[in-house]
Amino acid sequence: MDPIQRVSSREVYRNNWMTVREDAIRRPDGSEGIYAVVDKPTCAVVIPFDGARFHLVEQFRYPLGRRRWEFPMGTAPDRADVPAPELAARELREETGLIAGSMVDLGHTDLASGISSQRGRVFLATDLTQGEAQREIEEQDMRTAWFDRDEFEKMIASGDITDAQTLAAYTLLLLRERS
């Protein structure tokens, strides 16, 4: 039995990328409360790696009010449920134009488990071929660049890379490399 039981649920907002619901809940001691939950489909996070360098994207993140470097990532439009390997390949191609000859599943992440049901799947993309990016309208200001591992880690240490999914994906890659 779950320690918190959902008593009722109502959708309070919906757009092409997410829904927000408010759940009335009952705790184990019988007290009641509410949770606001952001529901989004699984996202794919892709680590494009040529053996020495990582390919990152930089874009303006409106909620933060600043530009951020991160690994390519995203969800399918209209909250579609797309198989994670297919989604990863699509996000990589859309944002960078890269096509991976190999896509290895590194594991799962939870994006913001205190407020969202969204999970992530992390993929290592290698054997890369450059093609044309096919960005969505929201990505029109996106830039891309290659960074060697030392530069990438310095960007993390300096606070130039702060995206939680990028940091989690890199951790999964490091664990894979050590095993």
Averaged confidence pLDDT in the chain: 93
Q: For residue 88, is it left (φ>0), alpha (ψ between -120 and 50) or beta?
A: alpha
**pTM of the full structure:** 0.91
- Does residue 51 have a pLDDT over 80? yes
pLDDT tens digits for range 71-99: 999 998 777 788 999 999 999 999 999 99
pLDDT band at 134 (very low <50, low <70, confident <90, very high): confident
- Does residue 114 have a pLDDT over 80? yes
Output the pLDDT for position 27: 95
- In DSSP terms, 126 is beta-bridged to 102
Fold of 43-178: Nucleoside Triphosphate Pyrophosphohydrolase (3.90.79)
pLDDT tens digits for range 5-29: 999 999 999 998 899 999 999 999 9
Output the pLDDT for position 1: 61
**DSSP H helical segments within the chain, as ranges?**
84-96, 149-158, 164-178
Q: Where are the domains of the chain?
A: 5-39, 43-178
pLDDT band at 153 (very low <50, low <70, confident <90, very high): very high
- Does residue 119 have a pLDDT over 80? yes
Residue 134 phi, psi (nearest 5):
-130, 60
- Indicate the DSSP class of residue 21: E
- Does residue 102 have a pLDDT over 90? yes
- Does residue 68 have a pLDDT over 90? yes
